[in-house]
Amino acid sequence: MNVVLNTDETNVVLALVTSQILDHLDLSPEGKELIRGWRRDHTIGSSSLNDFAVDLNEAVGNFIDDNTRRMIRQRGKIKTLER
């Protein structure tokens, strides 16, 4: 399975995750401001968001690969490889 998030979709994920952190964790005001600053640095069109999207896609792909069984067909037989 291939999952590839573009930068707009990555931006939505970042907005959701950072809002959940800010709303539901007991953080100091300095900690909240650090998260908000990091989020501002990753706005749409920024090179840091593009780099983060590449890293996120790689991490999601690796997670899926590590947790997916492989099925290989060889001359009428199907072999399943566990990861």
Name the 3-class secondary structure at 81: strand
Spans of all domains in the chain: 7-81
Q: Residue 53: its pLDDT value, please? A: 96
- The torsion defined by the Cα of 28, 47, 9 and 3, in degrees rounded to 10, comes to -110
* pTM of the model as a whole: 0.75
Report yes or no: 6 and 57 within 8 Å, Cβ to Cβ. no
Tens-place pLDDT, residues 6-21: 999 999 999 999 999 9
Which tens digits make up the pLDDT trace of 25-58? 999 999 999 999 999 999 999 999 999 999 999 9
- Above 70 in pLDDT, residue 73? no
Phi, psi (degrees; rounded to nearest 5) at 67: -115, 20
Q: 70 in helix, strand or coil?
A: strand
The answer to whether residue 23 scores a pLDDT higher than 90 is yes
Angle, helix 29-41 to helix 7-24, in steps of 10 degrees: 170
Tokens of 17: 């995750």
